Chains A and B, each alone.
Chain A
Amino acid sequence: MAFLSYLISGMGLGSVYAIIALGYTMVYGIAKMLNFAHGDVIMIGAYTAFYCLTVFKLSTFASIVITVVLCTVLGILIERLAYRPLRKASSLAVLITAIGVSYFLQNLAQILFGTDPKVFPELMRNSTFALFDEQLTLSFKTLLTIIVCILIMIFLIVFVNKTKTGKAMRACSQDKEAAQLMGINVDNTISITFAIGSGLAAIAAILLCITYSTFTPTLGSMPGIKAFTAAVFGGIGSIPGAFIGGLLLGIIETLTKAYLSTQLSDAIVFMVLIIVLLIKPSGLLGKRIHEKV
């Protein structure tokens, strides 16, 4: 029973990774770039929600809406100002810019909000319920996280496959030039992708803060890197891959902490990643790219 409860809390953690990984993987799939500032959008989201709830004393719902809107706008702004001018530059230049944006956001947050840890207000009571004669206790927070993640996943798959914007995204991810020649505005499509990714980052921020209540301006870095790992693990560019990668990473991390070592858990998580990539270099669901001559 202990195993089952670890498994479920691992899935909870993994769901947060998966939501963040979706942002990485969609942006990579369409703009072919690694947006390392993605983790810091989460951090900005956390501070936005925090100030909405504590200083402005807004309702939970209003705070969530404002956080999502603000992060979406931030995502679009980052793309417009930092990445779009580099659309034709080398991928290395874009990568370095992304790291620059990440540090910029972190330092901006340190100036604006200070470096001391903030404590996120309790949004929902830490209620649990027990199953199997009190042997298995589950927290509502974990379940909520998993459900939100599954809903987002379903929404994205339907969006990408069944709407014209989604089809434009898939077309851009395969051949931008051909897409343009078919009348698809690639710049707008990339903007929408950043908007969706950043909106998801806002949701991830709130889910993170519900579970781990203290946070600092570097909140985004570790979950960001883990989620990036999850995206690569599942096959970067693939939406179901990000979901599976995120869940597996969360489960592996929690089980390692429970049974092997708390201190070594990150090392072991990344070791698993390296092994998977040695066996399957394109990730679990990634497809090998055939270079056409």
Chain B
Amino acid sequence: MTKLVQYPSGAYVLERDIYSTPVLETYHLGIDFGGLSAVNNFNIIVGPTEISGLIGPNGAGKTTVFNLLTKVYQPSKGTILVNGHDTSKMTTVDVNKAGVARTFQNIRLFEKMSVVDNVKVAMNNSMHYNPLSAIFRTPKYYREEKRIHQEALELLDIFNMSDLAETEAGSLPYGAQRRLEIVRALATKPSLLLLDEPAAGMNPNETKELMETIRNIRDKFNIAIILIEHDMSLVMNICEGIAVLNYGRIIAKGTPKDIQNNPVVIEAYLGKPEQED
């Protein structure tokens, strides 16, 4: 049984992660669109091997949080630390290099490229040759291309997708596209993986499989995962810590058990019980 413990600051962290640098810390993170504050005072600490969930009603600002963490949006307020490094001067590309990778709510694969090329694109930064050696086809170019190709195939193999390597990504069935998005994100060698509604559109069997996959990823790659999800059985089953977002603010944090019984959360999802006169 995993246990959450409290830092002196009041933040929760998994007991086993308490002595290691958190993979993600946010302090007073917020963004305003015009006059509207979409996310406000968002504080979260995620340990290096934690699977945590970010839940909340539609429009609560969950995807906005992911966009802030990956610098798709620049935060208006607050700090984000990735593996202890301040990301305030970083671009999306830098944040990715610092160890954050993500998937998308609506699948955004490079549809016209093959499955293996989708993975290799994500490995671009670990491929070391310059355009000139590509033009003149130096041995280094061949060596690096071969190494990365092999690495991409091995990664696909873990997810039973190596036989689909040459298929065009856009022609894969839906479930496989979702899986490929996760593989592509992992190919950037992240220490934190952000999954945006990974179970969206999946049937119960596929969701069950996905649950296993997510656990396996954490155990095999030894990384932290944050997932946004509406499927409560998935969230309650695999997440070790959960944050509930409503109107851009965290209204509750804790273990799945704490969250399930928290009246504030129930109210956010179901509305206030009607008062009788």
Contacts and interface: CB of A to CB of B under 8 A. Distances in A.
A and B from one complex: yes
Contact of A185 (B93, B122, B145): B93
Interface string A156-194: 000100111111101100110111111111100000100
Given A177-B72, A178-B104, A183 B110 contact: no
B113 A180 contact: no
B77 interface: no
Contact of B92 (A162, A167, A181): A181
Interface string A93-126: 0000000000000000000000000000000000
B129 A164 contact: yes
B122 A292 contact: no
Contacts of B113: 167, 170-171, 174
A250 B129 CA distance: 38
Contacts of B135: 159
Interface in B62-106: 70, 72, 91-93, 96-97, 101-102, 104, 106
A178 B108 contact: yes
Given A177-B72, A181-B70, A170 B120 contact: no
A185 B95 CA distance: 12
A182 B127 CA distance: 13
A62 to B, nearest CB: 19
A184 B131 contact: no
Contacts of B145: 162-164
Given A167-B117, A167-B121, A167-B124, A175 B96 contact: no
B184 interface: yes
B112 interface: yes
Contacts of A292: 106
Nearest to A195: B131
Contacts of A181: 70, 72, 92, 96, 101-102
A179 B141 CA distance: 22
A178 B110 CA distance: 8
Contacts of A178: 104, 108-110
Nearest to B98: A183
B93 A184 contact: yes
A221 to B, nearest CB: 31
Contacts of B158: none
A183 B189 CA distance: 10
The 7 closest A-B pairs by CB, nearest first: A183-B96, A163-B134, A180-B92, A182-B122, A178-B108, A171-B121, A183-B125
Interface of B: 70, 72, 91-93, 96-97, 101-102, 104, 106, 108-113, 117, 120-122, 124-125, 127, 129, 131, 134-135, 141, 145, 148, 184-185, 187-188
Interface of A: 159, 162-168, 170-171, 174-175, 177-186, 192, 292
